[in-house]
Structure 1
């Protein structure tokens, strides 16, 4: 989509007659209004097309939310006590933010999120049926966290970007996401510009994504966003993030080396396909013409 097309695209946020301009008079992209959470997947797909993201209300039951949240905070504590907690790496610049990797090895509950039927439905609509799970991680923004740099998740894609997204982030709010506690900041509609954000200029276009615990968000790979600042003194904000890509891309986590064999043994056919353990398309991922993994394993 050219910038000329973008500049004349009709807004979809209820502002009658308004236009989606690349910039306002101050030179800052004007984001669209965020859409309300919905349980209608067809509405969610329309929201995703129009704004680059959608929210699924109550995607996790109260029991599933409680068990998954407990599993995540337990994994975070294990990293702090026994492992090497990831801080001050990449785009996170202070000790109050913690990243947790290898979630598929930590609890079967995270595999349930990775292949949640609603997310698989939306991802198939967005990326096609052969998408891969690139990584499954978590981010806990602690009190005083100073936020993240603004970015798009498909920054690895050479420019100019294709006219369709090359990946999508599905994230699960395990705590309430608020403007005060480090909830994700987003620029709805920025995917239509089909370009990365310009740091220092486009930050002003971000608006807070406010969502209750148990909400699922699908955000396509071109949308500008960042972890917000946690201005509270007593709240930690946890989210689980599944990053999915088109099958032509290398995955962020090396599943063939990192996964516990028991995870593979117990995995559903859907999860095995998303992890690259099944042949897709014209023999993508085969081993001498066969599936790379028999269905029944003897470990």
Structure 2
């Protein structure tokens, strides 16, 4: 409705892989979902108390969609080496997810890979699928290398919601000031406002470990 593309050239192989961007601006239900207590608990368990919501999108694999480029989401926003978990995806499954309808494929153990040079050349053959019933929530370390599977069914869609959270010193993928409507910005609750990095002060948490020269 705003002229935004529904697929990403260079990442998505064809237009049967449909993306819906800026979910937070489309309906209040998404603003509730992204701060769901179970999701926030998983985020903080992996990357710590201080984080930002970097992106929130839908990915719908229609029949005929193919596998996208293999990638790790932390590698998109942080250069190597990837030594610590600074990003996480929380995935909500709107449909049953299984190999034939385009389940996400991941390389087991690849969250321990620090550099691209450490990846196996034949990693696509070693990938396995996330399988989950509709209504499930999947937590995925941002360092995990993965891709979407091909949807080889005739009439089954696979719709997933991807909430992408990162450590608070990483610039979000979405500029929320520019993306959210004035109405949405005016109606954000204080907690979500902070999680989107919209406060006037930012990236000050390390001040707690600054040493007083008088003590040294």
Q: Same fold (TM over 0.5)?
A: yes
1:251–1:281 Cα change, 3 Å: closer
Unaligned runs of 5+ in 2: 207-216
Give the Cα–Cα distance (whole angstroms) in 2 for the partners of residues 141 and 228 of structure 1: 9
**Conserved 8 A contact 1:195-1:222:** no
Unaligned runs of 5+ in 1: 1-78, 285-299
State which of 200, 204, 213 in structure 1 corresponds to 2:125: 204
Give the Cα–Cα distance (whole angstroms) in 2 for the partners of residues 188 and 111 of structure 1: 31
Aligned to 1:131: 51
TM-score, length of structure 1 as denominator length: 0.63
1:252-274 Cα offsets, whole Å, 9 max, x none, are: 11101111122223222221111
Is 1:183 paired with 2:77?
no
Is 1:171 paired with 2:91?
yes
CA positional deviation for 1:204: 1.5
Aligned to 1:248: 169
Q: Per chain length, whose mean CA-contact separation is higher, i.e. which structure has more relative contact order (CA < 8 Å, sep 6+)?
A: 2
Q: What secondary structure does 1:145 align onto?
A: coil
Q: Which moved more, 1:135-144 or 1:270-279?
A: 270-279
Aligned to 2:147: 226
Q: What secondary structure does 2:55 align onto?
A: strand
CA positional deviation for 1:199: 7.7
Q: Calculate the aligned-residue CA RMSD, in Å.
A: 2.0
**Conserved 8 A contact 1:170-1:219:** yes
Aligned to 2:191: 270
Q: Which has the larger radius of gyration?
A: 1
1:211-268 Cα offsets, whole Å, 9 max, x none, are: 0111111111111111110000111111111111111111111101111122223222
Is 1:157 paired with 2:112?
no
CA positional deviation for 1:188: 2.7
Is 1:102 paired with 2:43?
no
Aligned to 1:216: 137
**Conserved 8 A contact 2:82-2:113:** no
TM-score, length of structure 2 as denominator length: 0.86
Corresponding residue pairs, total: 203
Matches within 5 A, 1:63-102: 79=1, 83-102=3-22
Give the Cα–Cα distance (whole angstroms) in 2 for the partners of residues 96 and 281 of structure 1: 39
Q: Which moved more, 1:193-202 or 1:265-274?
A: 193-202
Give the Cα–Cα distance (whole angstroms) in 1 for the partners of residues 68 and 203 of structure 2: 37
Give the Cα–Cα distance (whole angstroms) in 2 for the partners of residues 271 and 188 of structure 1: 33
Q: Which moved more, 1:270-279 or 1:260-269?
A: 260-269
Aligned to 1:257: 178
1:250–1:281 Cα change, 3 Å: closer
**Conserved 8 A contact 2:168-2:203:** no
